[in-house]
Structure 1
């Protein structure tokens, strides 16, 4: 409605200017015609040396008929100039209308691109935008952005899940408790309803798969079950060493039901637990809806990590068992004492080496913990994705900004940016870090209560497989406001003069 009103006003303004221009050209033409008439009479009178009078003018028109032709000059020139002004006005009107149309089209395009830049990917170009080719290209670009965003969310989801699993696997627990924790985590994190872990059990009757842990409907289930190798889907998965996905689950396959009814899962994923191509068990999960490829891939990575732990524990148990057997054989077989003694010493040497390595690892862990504590007390840390969305903040960030981690995570860094900050600083920052370089500069932020605070910020891009996957920011609180403002003004002056440069020692982080 506003656009229509503005368009009508513009048309009325152009029409008014058009009438004014035609009137001015008409007046000029008439004036030139009158001037020509007067000049011709004056010249003829001067040539004949006759004084100016009505009688002389009458004789002039009688003797020289050309003056009758000149007398039509005001009408002729006025008409000519009027038509010329009309042509110019019509051309200008058409040009103005075309310019207005192109301006409106450009405004629509500019608004849509700004919306995409702000992360609004849910809308299409309005129907009033007439360039179909550009519209189709932008639509394909928007779909690509949405696809990249979904892929990034899946990658973050997978990375966070594997990180949490890694913390879980590092805990010192017996295998049954660890299997319970893993299957509980997998069922909840993948939004499934049931899950089970079958581990290889080699006994006197032959190898079989024993149900070590079972979790369903938010409860641990105490069920005893063994499956011979090669029997059923689980036994087949163990032999084939390949993931099996079932979209049509038989009604009597899953025996576990909830108190809400007897609903049968609609999707089943059976994943072999492989460690260096050696299968040590099978992970099975059931869901009411089909798992996408990213979740299946996550299950395979979980199974691989868990299998490594199982194999390590199994190997350690085997070593202990062999050591015990060798000690008993030493007492019974004196003839082989020297050989067995060497074996024992070698095993003891390995154990001592492992002990020293463990002590070194513990000392290293203590040093890392101390450094992390010092870093947490002095440095404002944050992590963000490629679009500047905050994914992690430390306690120092929350302390200085007065926001909680829940209030900050998921927001852009401009959430704490002070409105006085120059946009040019952030333009230089994004140009620097997108090139894989480190940015360092003075930034003014705003606390939750509205008061400002200054930081010396260092933004580091993190690479994975040669590509930037996130940004890590370290900031140091500048408490001297006057000093901070001087540094900021000096920085801004260098940027405006094009003298601002990244330090030569700048380097990026690589997670590989």
Structure 2
């Protein structure tokens, strides 16, 4: 509108300025001066003073007009040059030469008003974030400055838009995170995946969480959202398997572009995906991987979108860790409550059991006392029986002894004591290894073990050397039950026949007839006949 008005004014100035004097004011003053010179003598004759009064102001007016003309001409010239320098050329200046510097100055003012109107519109567009491309003369300093400012503002607006996009995205996910405590991990995974797919305009998003199977880590798909709908998929990926397993092992993001259509079916967990861009990010919290986020899209992600996804991945990992801790704590709490309830339910039973146990303990103590008293009575009775048996055995001619299951002397008569030349207390509990050499004692012990195991009676005539004295004994050995040990020991009866053999050599034949299976061992260790005797 202002430009059209300027054009109308220019035409008016051009119509009125053609052939006009350079300055109307100066011309009028010159005409007055000529008139004064012509009429001056006449006025002088009439009244000299009056002529002086007219001449002085007139000369002063001529001088002022000339001075004003010079100053205006210089000022208009400077102003015109400055305006022309502002927009860089004279292309917008009307080429018609105006007769008056005054009209020329007005022309320049109209040009600059049009120029400023254009720049005002440019600035108005920039103020309202309208960044329409404009062709600006390279010499137009103000226009170039506004263009540069517009480009900077466009970059700033785009940067602000990205920051707002990230902030709004984080805020929207924060609402989901705040409500995570109200959902289990499955519902939370579905909410995160579906919202992410919509917000970043991804075609497919899948979330894998780390689990343990047979002692090894695996990645279990918890949620999948593809093509604006939830996918019900069950997929398990081993560590190192495909892209997801590789990202799990390396703990580093994977970003692939221009992927072949069948590549997803081979290495990606998304299976049916066809997009050309795939971004896989491990969810790490405190240097421990919690899962994998897999995103497929047709459009290439910009850096600020990748940074947003990375930042969101950290938040998701932290929340997953928190949910896992909460679930573990909840399980422990439930177990504790259940255990407490069980303890409270069993408290009365425990109290009754304690009372019963106390009564049982008292009864056991009573029985133990009675049993101990009975054992003491039995031991005393056994001691008396053993003593009486020893007294009886002392009256028997020959050696009589009883050995326990370990070959130790248990009961024996005085003849045995005298034969070994030791005291009764010393002999009790001793075995043959205390009185014979190793091989001899071992032979006796092995023989006694065979007798106890066979539960048969053995008779034997043999020579025995004790304390460097050679004696011949007719021995009878048989197993005997020992109530004190509740096992079998050995009963041995030995009668010395040394004198009888010396006085009656046929005594051996008499014994052999009486005991056909008698084992006979004569002097110097010569074995005449060995037969096991069974009675």
Report the TM-score when normalising by structure 2. Answer: 0.47
Specify the structure having the higher radius of gyration (Cα): 2
